[in-house]
Amino acid sequence: MGHKKARNVAVNAYRCTERGGEGGRFEAGLFVFLVELKYFISMDNNPLPNRPLPVVSIVGRPNVGKSSLFNRILGKRVAVVDDVAGVTRDRNYMKAAWNDVEFTLVDTGGLIPNLHEAIPEAIHDQVDIAIRESAVVLFVVEMGTGVTDLDQIIARQLRRSFSDRTILVVNKAESARAVYEIPTYMQLGFGKPFPVSALHGKGVGDLLEETLERARENSATGQGVTVETEGLRVAIVGRPNAGKSSLVNKLLKQNRMIVDSKPGTTRDAVDSLLEFGDKKIILIDTAGLRKKARVKKNDLEYYSNMRALDSIDRCDICVLVVDVSAGIGVQDMRIMRKITDARKGVVLVWNKWDIMEKDHKTFDNLAADVRNEYPELKNVPMISLSALTGQRVSALMDIVFSVKERMGVNVGGKEFEDQIFSWVRAHPHPVTPGAEVRFMGAKQVNAAFPLFRFFVTNHDTVTPGYERFLANKIYDKYDFLGCPVVVEFRPISRGKSSNEGMVQNIIDTEAI
């Protein structure tokens, strides 16, 4: 018995005994509770952490509202939505939940059968993969247009192998006349359609109840399940056409991302699971970030850029991909500053190394020149590779994990404080008349990145140059390559004992 039916039986029992007084209501209420408890205990296919999650894919022709339905089910705007057909190109996986039951939801590009252009054909391949790995397929059509030829072609393809796994969804059914038009969609051959409005949320709850009921049935036979795992989140960022999707595909060893020579092929931030030895990595491929002035607000690219920037915030390590033939530019440095401001680890990748004329000194000279021109890159690890040929691609992940390891390094408290005092003695803070800066103590603060706090007098007069001096000293001494070392200055709490005995270590910079 499914959860929906079991609960209805229990609720009806409660209503039947409602007039039986307090004792009857208590017994009926207990019955409702026990029925639901028994259901959740006995539901072998209820996906708990680290257990198989049923896969639910959303497919259909372009611009019928697949991504809007995807966002509605997730309860947040994850996929880019636009009136222009073909916005979604790669398949996008996200974990979703309904009534405490988790599943993997997949958004796909619009199917355009028999159209042999490079990107539509690649979209077709992406959708085909998504369907094959699904426990349930939500076939979305559009109210108001009737059944189109494309709908018929897609339905024919689904009926061949996936008829028992397909639910027909009629989107944009918010108008009163929808009830009269729904029967016309039964000709597609998937039984009673589900009318919904992804924009307003109408009918989505009933659709999800049926979806999870079907998912449990199909998952019991081993169809369409994935294992949800947590892992190191790595965002692949950079300018358009730097080779980000090609790098993701090479790492995954499959055409997970659509790749084309035209800039802007990737429009959403798409997550993929990579197993690297015994380690789990969530790779986030992002849209190329162009200069803000070139992107119109409310344009499709504007929202794609917002997704890419959000990916920086939700990752652990960023991989900044630079086309070595184009060189590093102002926009690359803007992205680097975004990464630094978000307090994320970073690795710089020189991609397309296979097309470079080079010798054994080329990389070292390139790295030295770039670090000399851009001091912000002094403590950023670099690697040259070719996403096309796979040269040194696996070595990238070794560097990523080494950066992640360094992000969690804690230096010794007393040893660190003594080291700071020796640096300050050798190189005192510049004299600031009437606002003398004295260092009274220092410690590392527990954080997701290397964060160091200094207790000083006149903390608001510490110069940016001296802040950089201390940060560079910490980089050199403790090997935080690729990590965002952050130093902050706090005033002295005179009336408290919270300075942990550091007052005795006062260093009078004038005396020295």
Same domain, 246 and 119: no
Q: Is residue 118 part of a domain?
A: yes
Is residue 105 located within the same domain as residue 202? yes
**pLDDT of 142-153, one tens digit each?**
998 889 888 888
Same domain, 95 and 157: yes
Tell whether 62 is covered by a domain: yes
Q: Is residue 80 located within the same domain as residue 212?
A: yes
What's the confidence (pLDDT) of residue 256? 45
Asked if 353 and 245 sit in the same domain, the reply is yes
* Residues 288 and 307 sit within 8 Å (Cβ to Cβ): no
Q: Which of 210, 227, 244 is the last residue of a domain?
A: 227
Q: Which amino acid is at 38?
A: K
Task: Supply 83's token pair.
Answer: 């009136």
Q: Report, in this order, helix, strand and coil percent for the chain, each rounded to 5.
A: 40, 20, 40
Please give the tally of structural domains in the chain.
4
**In a shared domain, residues 96 and 177:** yes
* Domain closes at, from 375, 407, 439: 407
Q: Residue 303 above 80 pLDDT?
A: no
pLDDT at 60 over 90: no
Q: What is the pLDDT of residue 417?
A: 92
- The pLDDT mean for the chain works out to 76
Q: pLDDT tens for residues 186-233?
A: 999 999 999 999 888 899 999 999 999 988 887 655 555 554 457 899
292 and 328 share one domain: yes
Instruction: Please indicate, yes or no, whether residues 320 and 398 belong to a single structural domain of this protein.
Output: yes
Residue 427's identity, in one-letter code, is H
How far is the C-alpha of 268 from the C-alpha of 247, rounded, in Å?
16
Domain assignment of residue 477, given as a range = 413-505
511 found inside a domain: no
Q: Is the Cα dihedral 27, 32, 37, 43 positive or negative?
A: positive
* Distance (Å) of CA 360 to CA 309, 357, 379: 36, 11, 22
Q: Does a structural domain hold residue 47?
A: no
Which parts of 387-484 are beta strand (E)? 439-445, 451-456
Please report, for the domain that includes residue 489, its CATH number: 3.30.300.20
Residue 487: which pLDDT band, with cuts at 50, 70 and 90?
very high
Query: What's the rounded Cα separation, in Å, for the pair 378 and 452?
Result: 19
Confidence of residue 78 (pLDDT cuts 50, 70, 90): low
CB 387 within 8 A of CB 423: no
Q: What is the pLDDT of residue 389?
A: 92
Residue 128 pLDDT greater than 90, yes or no = no
**Over the stretch 421-430, which tens digit does the pLDDT of each residue have?**
999 999 999 9
The reported pLDDT for the residue numbered 116 is 45
Give domain status of residue 388, yes or no: yes
Q: Which residues have a Cβ under 8 Å from the Cβ of 245 and sit 6 or more positions away? A: 90, 257, 258, 259, 265, 266, 285
Long-range contacts (CB closer than 8 Å, 24 or more residues apart) made by 391-394: 391/353, 391/354, 392/353, 393/247, 393/250, 393/251
Cα angle vertex 56, ends 55, 59, to 5°? Answer: 135
Final residue belonging to a domain, choices 360, 381, 407: 407
CA angle 212, 216, 221 (to 5 degrees): 145
CATH of the domain at 314: 3.40.50.300
**What stretches of 107-190 show up as alpha helix (H) in DSSP?**
118-132, 149-161, 178-181
The pLDDT score that the predictor gives to residue 14 is 44
Q: Give dist(CA 392, CA 385) in Å, integer.
A: 5
Residue 201 lies in a domain: yes
pLDDT band, residue 298 (cuts 50/70/90): very low
What is the mean predicted confidence (pLDDT) over 458-485?
Answer: 93
Q: Residue 67: inside a domain, yes or no? A: yes
Largest CA distance in the chain: 91
> 0.85 cut: is pTM over it?
no
Task: Please check whether residues 29 and 92 belong to one and the same domain.
Answer: no
pLDDT top residue among 506 and 106: 106
Query: Do 161 and 280 fall into the same domain?
Result: no
- Identify whether 14 is part of a domain: yes
Quick one: tokens of 358? Answer: 């080079």
Q: Over pLDDT 70: what percentage of the chain? A: 68
Q: Tell me, yes or no, whether 174 and 252 share the same domain.
A: no
> Do 184 and 88 fall within a single domain?
yes
- Helix 204-219 vs helix 3-16: crossing angle, to nearest 10: 120
